[in-house]
Structure 1
Amino acid sequence: MKEILEYLQGYQGRPLKLMEVCGTHTAEINRNGIPGLLPPSIQLVSGPGCPVCVTVTEYIDRLIELGKEPQNVVVTFGDMLRVPGSRCSLSEAKAGGCRVKMVYSPMDILRLAEEDREHIYIFAAVGFETTAPVYAMLLKKALEKGIKNIRLLTSLKVMPPVISWMCAGSADCGIDGFLAPGHVCVITGSKAFEGLAAQFGIPFVVAGFEGEQILTAIAALVKLQGKGRVANFYPSAVTREGNLQARAAVAEYFEPADAAWRGMGIIPGSGMVLRKEYEAFDAGSRELTEDREKNSACCCAQVLTGKIKPSQCPLFGKVCTPQTPQGACMVSTEGSCFNSCYN
């Protein structure tokens, strides 16, 4: 590791902007103080890798509407409770009578729905390729058990299309290399990023999550600058082909779709929705197309695309704090604003 640090700290080439696109990487980079170990010429920025951060406000609004209907109960993870909608968060709506339950696993909804057949339980199915297999398993179990009072409101995203959108210049982010998301690559395989690397001449390095693994991957990106290659530095968990069984399970229940990303609009083919044969389990996911910020001064979109650092947002640390988040980037422990506020 000493050699890696000496190499990075002694780098004298052109300025580089490297982006991680995984929320866990964002958290670990900040926890390990990695930005402070790098020279000014190597800049790390956080991309759209936190599923909570890229969720549009309309999605929160829709969950609140559903939770206010007497026959429904919205079920979600804890971090989604505080994401601002255009008017309020789920937590605030719950205080006003919206029916919301927090769980630690999507599978918890099976027990809730089985024990209470009089209500429809709607899960806030947010995530990337990593969590999609869990939702596929949830549907499989519901069908096996004959549980019909379960619905999913999906906000499922896939990573390659949004990276392609950024590399094509729509976000004007000028990224020189990507730390490819380790968790996502476990499912998709490193092969998922080979086309992007070749098309844009940008290196991708699949990284693990320990501080030393991340630094090693950053050094690899510096050495590969200008080369359209994918390197797997997480071989203990990631293969080129990925988890074929998990991918098959997802393909059985979900199909590609256009998706709305917070502050980025609709990106073609960047989402997943339930197939038509399973639409009885859908709570209206295909209708989500808009993004309405609660606070127009929120800069989540610019932060998510690497245009600015969180501290450059005029709300950061003032109006917008982890206790009073104005945007989703300040809510999740994987969000870049949240991590910048505590590191």
Structure 2
Amino acid sequence: MATGDELKAALHDLVDRDYTFMHICGTHEAAIARTGLRSVLPEGLKIVMGPGCPVCITPQGEIDAALEFVEKGCIVATYGDLLRVPGTKGSLESCGGDVRVVQGIHKAVEIAEKNPDKEVVFISVGFETTAPTVAATILARPPANFSILSCHRLVPPAMQWLLEQGEASLDGFMLPGHVCVVTGYEEYEHFPVPQVVAGFEAEDILLGLLMLVKQVKEGRHEVENAYPRAVDREGNRKAMDLMYEVFEPVDVEWRGFPVIPKSGLKLKPGFRQYDAQEKFGIEIKHVEKHSGCICDRVLRGVAQPTDCKLFGKVCTPRTPVGPCMVSHEGACKIWNLYHVRHL
């Protein structure tokens, strides 16, 4: 692969107008901010953030549902990133219930095995990267006192929504390397825009941007792979087969988006005994936004964190107003960490 300097020079030679590309991965945003990559790009080349943080796109209604499980006396197991995301009545961190941070679903199952007299609910978030592991655990038939709140999301339907709206005036997408390791990129090929799968080193991202610019200039729209050391077109078929053996697509709301058809995952009928919503009769409700937080606009790529009047003032990692300041994959927390003040 060309060096970073060579890739930068090639980009500066090619970019002769304004280009806007969107990435859909919190790890891409962290890499871009950490390396100061935006500062070396040509003036007309812009890369914006999309809905690539699974914690950030989890709507407030699902956070409120997690708090209801606490109220019902359940042990709630969750990833640490979800602890401080504000719900209508506080957060999992502040609720005073039995909330335990785990590194994955297997640890939540261990809690259920050690506490057979207690109901344990795992708040199961993530894209196609984490859903297959959850599916494999459900197939292993965990104990009856264990269930999950499925907050999983699928990336392609969100891309479809973004393209249909045309809100961010995008020239193309940098596809998420982690997701594509599992899914491959075949299902992205029907989108009529330039797309490149990219890795997470600065050179990977620069190469991805160069390939995107070339597609636009040449009038092409296809999926190219700038991350072949980890991704191929087919992906991990075994993982995907596991996921769809246990889950089926469902229409769900994303934070900052309306209900997007077939963009979530729910347990199939044969596994509904592990569906915490059905088990406890909890409804996930839509919650209207009332704060000045603009996480919704950041997740759609039409605003950046520093456009928010709350950023770094009222809203900080210690006192987050919105989820993008909570998760390590959230744009606001990333920009706060690396002191990014403008594009």
TM-score, length basis structure 2: 0.93
- Which runs of structure 2 are paired with 1:221-232 in the superposition (5 Å)? 221-225=212-216, 226-232=219-225
Q: 2:271 aligns with which of 262, 267, 278?
A: 278
Q: Give, in whole Å, the separation in 1 of the partners of 2:12 and 2:333.
A: 27
Instruction: Report if aligned partners of 2:7, 2:203 keep a CA contact under 8 Å in 1.
Output: no
Partner of 1:61: 64
Partner of 1:36: 39
Partner of 1:114: 113
- Which runs of structure 2 are paired with 1:7-26 in the superposition (5 Å)? 7-26=10-29
Deviations 1:147-203 (A, max 9, x none): 11111001110000101100112x61111111100111111111121011x3xxx11
Residue 341 of structure 2 is aligned to residue 341 of structure 1: no
Residue 321 of structure 2 is aligned to residue 326 of structure 1: yes
Q: Give, in whole Å, the separation in 2 of the partners of 1:334 and 1:247.
A: 24
Q: Give, in whole Å, the separation in 2 of the partners of 1:80 and 1:300.
A: 15
Q: 1:51 aligns with which of 50, 54, 75?
A: 54
Q: Shift of residue 227 of structure 1?
A: 2.3
Partner of 2:257: 264
Partner of 2:341: none
Residue 256 of structure 2 is aligned to residue 253 of structure 1: no
SS at the partner of 1:90? Answer: coil
Q: Give, in whole Å, the separation in 1 of the partners of 2:91 and 2:11.
A: 42
Partner of 1:128: 127
| Letter aligned with residue 21 of structure 2 | L
Q: Shift of residue 289 of structure 1?
A: 4.7
Residue 204 of structure 2 is aligned to residue 213 of structure 1: yes
1:307–1:337 CA distance, 2 compared to 1 (3 A) = same
Instruction: Report if aligned partners of 2:256, 2:300 keep a CA contact under 8 Å in 1.
Output: no
Runs of 5+ consecutive residues of structure 2 not aligned to the other structure: 339-343
Instruction: Report if aligned partners of 2:20, 2:45 keep a CA contact under 8 Å in 1.
Output: yes
Deviations 1:38-96 (A, max 9, x none): 122001110001001101111111111111212x11000111001111221110113xx
| Letter aligned with residue 259 of structure 1 | V
Question: Which 4+ residue blocks in structure 1 deviate beyond 6 angstroms?
Answer: none
Deviations 1:209-228 (A, max 9, x none): 11111111111111111421
Q: Shift of residue 9 of structure 1?
A: 2.9
Q: Give, in whole Å, the separation in 2 of the partners of 1:111 and 1:220.
A: 46
Instruction: Report if aligned partners of 2:65, 2:283 keep a CA contact under 8 Å in 1.
Output: no
Instruction: Report if aligned partners of 1:56, 1:292 keep a CA contact under 8 Å in 2.
Output: no
| Letter aligned with residue 138 of structure 2 | L
Aligned length in residues: 330
SS at the partner of 1:44? Answer: strand
Q: Which moved more, 1:248-257 or 1:35-44?
A: 35-44
Runs of 5+ consecutive residues of structure 1 not aligned to the other structure: none
Partner of 1:101: 100
Partner of 1:150: 146
Deviations 1:28-47 (A, max 9, x none): 11111111111220011100
SS at the partner of 1:82? Answer: coil
Residue 182 of structure 2 is aligned to residue 187 of structure 1: yes
Partner of 1:88: 90
Q: Give, in whole Å, the separation in 2 of the partners of 1:305 and 1:116.
A: 41
Query: What RMSD in Å do the two structures reach over aligned CA positions?
Result: 1.4
Q: 1:204 aligns with which of 186, 190, 195?
A: 195
| Letter aligned with residue 162 of structure 2 | M
SS at the partner of 2:105? Answer: coil
SS at the partner of 1:93? Answer: coil
Instruction: Report if aligned partners of 1:262, 1:291 keep a CA contact under 8 Å in 2.
Output: no
SS at the partner of 2:76? Answer: strand
Instruction: Report if aligned partners of 1:86, 1:292 keep a CA contact under 8 Å in 2.
Output: no
